[in-house]
Structures are given as structure tokens and as C-alpha cells.
Structure 1
Amino acid sequence: MQVKLWENEIPYLNPDADTPNSMDTYFVSTGRGHPLPCIVILPGGGYGGRAPHEGGPIAEFFNSRGIHAVVVNYRVAPNRYPAPLADAQRAIKLLRANAAEWRVDPNRIVTLGFSAGGHLAASCATLDDVTADRENADEIDKQNARPNGAILGYPVIDICPELGHPGSGKNLLGEDYERQCAYFSLQNRVTDETPPVFMWHTSVDGVKVSNSLMFGEALRRHGIPFEMHVYPNGPHGLGLAQLYEDVSQWPNQAADWVLRNIK
């Protein structure tokens, strides 16, 4: 089932850019009617696209573990911040607003992102709500936009040229991204209010593993629970990583983490 993110006015609309305005729902149909956790999936693509293998297949895996999922078709370049974050936060709010009908536990909503989608998933966990106070706000805007946890796969965390992934920063913020890149390098945005995090990376990923390591260190400094797996082999963009025996354990490890820790 595809659900519209915005029924009326779309905030931060760029009339010259594509606006998907939707999320694809993967709700578990079995069970006894009790509410289930839900994963909000944000595929990667450098804020310039959304990789299909990091969307539906991931949702189907979590369904196999008895966990709901949605894949958010968030806006990408030439849309700029805060449009992608507004879409991701709207998905979280929609889940909470429709929790009873969709059988979602509103206290067990977890963002999951890969690469630049990992930056977006971590942004949901660390940055402020970008639509709560907008003009013409609706009832859904009043819902809490902060997830209860985040799963980050080979995430872009830093977008500055020295250590991070400047291509994602340029697509997110525009040509003058360096002026703002420190603020949007999310190891700098962790607070005591950041929710628990599960992260995985390979040590040879083209998006440097230092992204995850820096974020983990920031979480440690603030006393935020996190679990991190760094695997020795595998390129960027692995998704379910079915061709790498050790890395392919991450989906079950992440599902176990959700069921054990997000209560």
C-alpha cells in the first residue's frame, strides 16, 4: 500500500524538482492484533537518488521477523534541506497518528538508513522537527517526529571534505555546503536526548568507516546505548549483503537489537 505523506500543502516545495510525496507500507498481516515495532527505511543514493535494493528487500526481511516497515520516497536533489528531513519526519508522524489503525507501536519506531539515507536516519535521531511550527500545520504535524531508535548501514555522518562525504553534502545543501557542513556533520549533533543506535560498516567501505566510529564516540560521550559491527570486507552499498557471509548477519543482528532494546 502506498500512502501520501502530505495531503494538502507540501512544505519546502521546489516546483522545479520531483516530489514523490509517498511512502510504501509493508505491514505484517499475521499476529494476534497487538501493535508491532515499525522500521522507517530511508534508502541511500547520495541525496541524489534512492537505491531500490535498499528499500523493498529490506522491508520484506523485517516483515519476516514480525516487524512492520515503510519505505519513504523522500525528496532528493535538486531539492535541498530541509525537504528530505521533512519527508522522513512526516513518515514517523503518520505512523504515530495512525498507530491504532495500522497496528504500530508508537513507542517502537526506528529509522533505518543506508549511506546518505543513513545520514537522514541519523538526522531524524538528532535534529529538530522542521515542520512542527510551520504555517498551516495540520494535526499530524503535532505528532512527535523523533524515532525511538536508529539503524545505520555504512552511514554518511560527516559531510565536510576532510573526513566525510562531500557529494552528499552538496546535494543536500547546495554548492556552498562547506559553510554549513559542520552543523550537518551529525557527530556534532548528538545530545543526551538521542535515541539508541545500531550501526554497521565495513572497514574498507568507500564511505569511510570513520563516519560510524565518530558517531559511536559521540554516542559514548553522551551515554547513549549503541551497538556497532565493523566487518573486515565488503564494498559500499551492500544492502542485505547476501554475498558476504559475515556481513549478511547484520539484518538478523539488527532485528534482534530492535526486539531486545526498543521497548
Structure 2
Amino acid sequence: MKTANLIYKALTTVLGLLAVSNLVYAQQHLPLYPQGIPNAKEAENIERNEPNAMVDSLAFDVSEPSIRLFLVPEDRATGTAVIICPGGGYHTLLTKREGSDVARVFNKLGISAIVLHYRLPNDRIMVDPSIGPLQDLQQAIKTVRERATEWHIDPQRVGVMGFSAGGHLAATAGTHYADTYIENPENTNLRPDFLLLINPVISFMDSVGHTGSRANLLGAQPSDKQLFYFSNELHVDSLTPPTFLVHSGADEVVSVENSLYFYRGLRQHHVEAAMHIYAKGEHGFLTAPSFDEWFGRCTYWMGQLGLK
């Protein structure tokens, strides 16, 4: 009996160490640009994280972009990967509620997740703040595809999920993927294979757009050219990735028209898409609908596309 107990304890220890090893690997944190950040000015890194009662934690003044990997082991991996863009109005990042928490749930489904810690627009740290977040997402897509074999990912099943302003960033990558803002000598495909847009900012037009996100990305007096370029509903075409949208009709922060306009463009161009609008629920779904409710609809749609 004593010998059996010793063997059991030894096995338990080994399994525990393996579990910890897998967990550490799954949450590996990598700088996005090991060779130097493009479009950057020399400036002190003053990034800070603050606790928040509603969303757990917030990151401010992000100037050194990175990715946090939540990778599924090869024996459980579906091959699908989702790059997650947290929201925060291009002013902050909800790195836990709209980042690592969601990544862990994807992992349970065999889907690898990559949380993007993208730069927040600021003249202090960027030459052109308007393209900084898009550069970071394009670099993340490029990195995931170029390391797909190593990370047990199918390079043709790399999608982007975005919340609120992160949804705007995701939609920008899905409509402007042909405009390359990073060094890409291998000509790696920068087009997401699918989009998951959660109460997204889509438009920057006065009638429907979120003025806070617009001002943070483009400044107080954006040009007409900038407003047109970053109003993503105006750039949907037949090559826009298949898209899932979810929003609340009661959202008083980002109007539901943002999702409606984007969905209408997808329909007009015969792009496979699904949308669910809830009658009740505030921006960010802080109290309703529940996570399991809206996320279940999201993953059901992914299953219909053979992505899970």
C-alpha cells in the first residue's frame, strides 16, 4: 500500500508539472515586433494597468504591442485560431474580460486564441496614430500565419474577434487587408479568414459612429478622407471575410446601426454572415445577455462554417 501511495504521488506530481508546463506555454507572452516597432517615436513607456470593478482590469497608454498566446496542444487542436482585439474606445484595453477570459473559453473548444495588446493612438508615441492599431493587428495576423505549423494552426483558419473599438479594428483589417502598413517581405496573406464582431464600432460617420473612438483614433478634427476610410461599412465587398455580428438594440454607447449597416453590406455582396440583435442589454453585455448566451451563438456559427 505504501509503495502504491508513493507511485500515485509521483504520478500526480508529474502530471501536475505537465499541466503547469502546458499552461505556461499556452500563455506565452511575445513582443509583436522583435526587430523594432514601426511608426514609433522614441518615448518613455508609461503603460499602466488599473483595477476596475466592472471589467476587472484596464490597460492604459499601451506603447509596446505584444501578443499573449493561448495555444491548444496538437492532440486537441482543431486548427482554428482567433486573434482577439479587446475594446476600450481606442483609449484603454479590457485585457481580461475581452481578452484572456474569452481566450480560455476558446481553448476548451480546441480553438487557439491570441490576445492582441495593441498600441493605443497617441501623438507622443506614434508618427501616425491612425494606423498604429491596424499595423499591430496586421503584424499579429502575419505572425500567426508564419508560425502556424509550430503552433498547430491551419493558416487558412485564422480569424479576428473584436469588441467595441476592437470590433472597429477587426472590421478595418477585414475591409482594408489589401493596404499593407507593415513590412511583409514574404507577402503573407493579411486578410482574416473570418470576423467575430461583438457590439462593434463600425462607422465614423456623424449619424451613427462612436465619436469617442473616432476622436481617439483620428484626432479632434479628422479629414473627410479619414472619415470615409475608417467607416468600414462603406468598404464591404465580395472579398470581405465571413462575419458574425452580435449587438444589443438597447446599446446607448455604440448604436446598433453600426452592426446593421455592416450586415447590410455583407448581404449586398453575398458574403456569408450571421447577426443576432438582443432587445435588452447594455454596451459590453455587462449584465445581459449572459456570456454563455451570446458566445454560444457565436461558436454555433463557427461550427456551421466548419471552424470548430
TM over 0.5: yes
Letter in 2 for 1:260: Q
1:247 shift after superposition: 6.3
In structure 2, what is the equivalent of residue 70 of structure 1?
A: 114
Contact 2:141 2:158 in 1 (8 A): yes
Deviations 1:204-248, CA, capped at 9 Å, x for gaps: 01210000000011111111110000011111122xx5x435664
Match of 1:217 among 264, 268, 274: 264
In structure 1, what is the equivalent of residue 217 of structure 2?
A: 172
Contact 1:86 1:130 in 2 (8 A): no
1:99 shift after superposition: 0.6
Structure 1: where are the runs of 5+ without partners?
none
1:161 shift after superposition: 2.2
RMSD value, Cα: 2.0
Q: Distance in 1 between matches of 2:39 and 2:306?
A: 32
What does 1:18-167 align with in structure 2 at a 5 Å threshold? Answer: 18-29=62-73, 31=75, 36-52=79-95, 53-78=97-122, 79=126, 80-131=129-180, 137=183, 139=185, 142-167=187-212
Q: Distance in 1 between matches of 2:142 and 2:221?
A: 31
Deviations 1:20-39, CA, capped at 9 Å, x for gaps: 2210000112625x661001
What does 1:222-233 align with in structure 2 at a 5 Å threshold? Answer: 222-233=269-280
Q: How many residues align?
A: 255
TM-score by length of 2: 0.77
Q: Distance in 1 between matches of 2:91 and 2:66?
A: 17
Moved more, 68-77 or 166-175: 166-175
1:178 shift after superposition: 5.0
3-state DSSP of counterpart to 1:212: helix
Match of 1:2 among 29, 34, 50: 29
Contact 1:115 1:153 in 2 (8 A): yes
In structure 1, what is the equivalent of residue 249 of structure 2?
A: 203
Bigger radius of gyration, 1 or 2? Answer: 2
What does 1:177-192 align with in structure 2 at a 5 Å threshold? Answer: 177-179=222-224, 180-192=226-238
Q: Which structure is higher in RCO with an 8 Å CA cutoff and minimum separation 6?
A: 1
1:183 shift after superposition: 2.1
1:81 shift after superposition: 1.7
| Identical amino acids, percent of aligned pairs | 36
Structure 2: where are the runs of 5+ without partners?
1-27, 44-60
3-state DSSP of counterpart to 1:13: coil
Contact 2:74 2:152 in 1 (8 A): no
1:192 shift after superposition: 1.2
Letter in 1 for 2:197: L
